[in-house]
Chains A and B, each alone.
Chain A
Amino acid sequence: MHANVMRIDDVMDSHDRAPERDDGGLDPRTKLLLTLLSCFVVFTAPLSSFSLVFMGLFCILFIIERMPKLVFELLAVYVGIMCLAQFIIPVLPAQVGVMLAVICYGGVIFPCAVAAVYLVKTTSVGQFVAALRAIHIPNTLIVALTATLRFFPAIREDFSHVRDASRLRKPHGPQRRVDCIYVPLLLNVSSTAADLAASVTARGIDNPCQKTSWHRIGFSAGDAIVLAVALAIYAACIAWRVMT
């Protein structure tokens, strides 16, 4: 018998993994605006046909980006929530029904969630940073945001290590139990952050010149069309509110 020793590929679900798209696709700034608009539409006319149309817009965008599976998953969740609201809650006793109210609320803000998912799934971190630099967000904020995004998967990994250690040590008493998780986690994160700070400083992050980006972003006809459609929906939404 011969053992098969295979290489581990750490499958980290990176929150922002996206294909490198510098050609085609909307400018990240447009996507930001769309997310903002979706929140406004939901805020102005919740649970109306305007919200649905807005969601439809995103479904089309997803399909253009060749992500039909995602559209299917999102629609499935939405339909599930709507079914819950229409058919299940009415037959439950009122108090129990209220427990599920948050899920119904999720249905109300669903278009915003779809917009956010679109932003995250079709933009890489590098492209996003390029967009932020283009709108002159202060560099300190960009560095902090990049650090936050970079640390999410690292925290998940660190937490599993800390939990492993805790399962072996079996601390007694509430004080020790809390310390056992908290202290190593804080120590780990701040230790890595200190190392990282040294690494970026040594690569000239404090250079006061205008930073450039490897990723190319820019507005195109596609951006104009999509924005026009979105604004039209929002305008119609406001008009409807004003008239009723």
Chain B
Amino acid sequence: MIHFDHVNLTYENADHPALSDCSFDIEKGQTVLLAGMSGCGKSTILNLINGLLLHDEQTEVSGTIQISGKAAQDLEQWEVADLVGSVFQNPKSQFFNLTVADEIIFGLENRGATRPQMERALARAAEVCGVQDLLGRDIFGLSGGEKQRIACASAYATDPDVLVLDEPSANLDEQSIEALAKVLAEWKRQGKTVVIAEHRLWYAIDIADEVFYIRDGHVERTFTPDQLRFMNAADRAQLGLRQCTRPPDIAPEPGPVGDDGIVAQGLTTSNKRIPVWQNIDFHIPRGRVCAITGKNGAGKTTLARVLCGLKKTNTGTLNIDGQVTKRKQLRARSFMVMQDVNAQLFGETALDEVTFGDESLKDQAHDALERLGLGGYAKRNPSTLSGGQRQRLAVADALVSKRDIIVLDEPTSGLDLRHMQQVSDALHQMALSDRCVVVITHDMEFVHTSNALVIDWARPIDRR
């Protein structure tokens, strides 16, 4: 079905090829998982399969690529789109229309399908991808997991033979990932050929028939799912892969009794008169990495904003080290790494971003960049960095800032094992310097790796 033969690809202005001598075969009906470290070439392979890189005059491609028996380089991009459907990583930036139904049949409109064909395809896609109850809704109001399933439905609706997914779980919580896995299982049952690139292997490995380990732009090894599952942790870490079994949930614990750090009592807040959460208490101690987990949509980001003094609470108090703290003081003392780091980067170079113009912080800044794997990028402009690199840059920002309270909102979405560990180490360093470190996350593996204290923010503190 998909045949790559000695494919080489070099991006414009790149000093080394992204793909070198990449060859593989994927049979019809197979589900193949592409695993590998960041930058190994997984996305490049997917973007060749769906044709996005084939007619880019700025990249040089050589070798043979065949999809469904046809030579891909001879086809127009939209002809490849007929054969291959795509789902990308970011739920927010994939949808073009404003309503769910419009989005799902978008591909069919582009091919000039008739209305009866559209109706049939919509019904089928909605059923297979589990989004029947979302029809008729506005896309902007949906959660990340729902948006991703709509993206799946949209890719599936044109009935392609092949479906490629580029890290679709990166921004999803555990529950949404399970729903996504169901969709993939259904596609497999229908005989679709599915190629999926992932860092969070645990859900994909159950559905995959084969795993390709990509390194330096070619398929270095292939594994069966069992081989990866039963590999010992050390070998797996050598390959740079994250865990292959579902990370167990950690029950939140009430924070240790005490007054240090942040103590919240009776907080209530609302969004346009709709209450978000009511009467919550928690304690975030200093010196430890603390995690706030929970389903997406439960109000975690709102909590982050309250902690930084960006959002008002209707009732309750927030004390730092025993003293009542007002919003303005909170803002002066806190730093937030946002979910969308693009909103907070504005330095001319990575170094400038981290030092924020303060020359005395230069050495610290270099150190922080090294710790997060960005040592060689100090002089680069942030807009030229990849998404994962920008995330780590924002963490470096937090490390160097002299602020007391550090709040991070999903800092590890889409990071591979090594980079996740770097972020974890950076957080530990922050905690060691006696700061309050709060991580909002649904990445359970990260919570385990960083040995974070999962804060219970739904129950009152047990005051003995």
Contact = CB atoms under 8 A, between A and B. Distances in A.
A135 interface: no
Nearest to B457: A3
Given A12-B140, A176-B357, A192-B92, A7 B297 contact: yes
B179 to A, nearest CB: 16
Interface in A196-212: 196, 198-212
Contacts, number: 203
Given A4-B275, A11-B272, A191-B342, A168 B310 contact: yes
Interface of A: 1-12, 14, 16-17, 20, 124-126, 146-147, 149-150, 153-154, 158, 161-162, 164-165, 167-172, 176, 179-180, 182-184, 187-188, 191-192, 195-196, 198-214, 216
A20 B298 contact: no
Contacts of A161: 338, 340, 343-344
14 contacts: A4-B278, A20-B136, A125-B97, A158-B340, A168-B335, A195-B88, A201-B81, A202-B155, A203-B107, A203-B155, A204-B107, A207-B111, A211-B112, A213-B109
Given A6-B274, A6-B276, A206-B78, A187 B305 contact: no
Contacts of B92: 154, 192
Contacts of A182: 346
A204 B277 contact: no
B109, B114, B335, B459 pick with most chain A CB within 10 angstroms: B109
Given A3-B277, A14-B138, A205-B110, A180 B346 contact: yes
Contacts of A9: 141, 274
Interface of B: 50-52, 76-78, 81-82, 84-86, 88, 90, 92-99, 101-102, 105-115, 118, 136, 138, 140-141, 151, 154-155, 158, 271-272, 274-280, 294, 297-299, 302, 305, 308, 310, 331-332, 334-336, 338, 340, 342-346, 356-357, 382-383, 457-460
A8 B302 contact: yes
A202 B95 CA distance: 12
Contacts of A183: 345-346
A1 B298 contact: no
Contacts of B275: 4, 6
B439 to A, nearest CB: 17
A83 to B, nearest CB: 32
Contact of A198 (B52, B102, B109, B118): B52
A1 B78 CA distance: 58
Given A5-B294, A7-B298, A180-B346, A200 B96 contact: yes
Given A20-B99, A20-B136, A126-B97, A165 B338 contact: yes
A201 B52 contact: yes
B96 A5 contact: no
Contacts of B310: 164, 167-168
Contacts of B357: 172, 176
A211 B82 CA distance: 15
Contacts of B86: 199, 202-203
Contacts of B102: 125-126, 214
B273 to A, nearest CB: 10
A175 to B, nearest CB: 10
